[in-house]
Structure 1
């Protein structure tokens, strides 16, 4: 679906991942919160976009109920950025 290459942010983590595109450029990160008011939710961050949300026209981070939803939101932000001709960050 996304074409992202996923890796663990930390070797022992099962709930914290980095996404890169097929060329190795940083796309973003998803991670699951375990406690507090966000417990059980997945945070997503489009770290590879060097622009303000108002420039891109969509959220560049947020919370999702499921891992798949977090991936979909990250993918949507990245796709929008690439459609705009955005540059990629290593």
Structure 2
């Protein structure tokens, strides 16, 4: 979970850096602009994949908590 948070922060920093490069590149709109756009799209795709993984992990953990909670209720009723 901690690793996922670190990766999200890294992607955020990379996106911010690319945005800065893009702003600087507006004066020199040439190959650099296209390269930055390609990098941004690539990072967006990676970030979307990571976001999906985080949401799946969240759902899994919520389900596990529900299962554990139900098991604990059953044990409490038996006692």
> What TM-score do the two structures reach when normalised by structure 1?
0.28
| Structure with the larger strand share | 1
Higher relative contact order (CA 8 A, sep 6+): 2
State the structure with more CA Rg: 2
Q: Which has the higher helix share?
A: 2
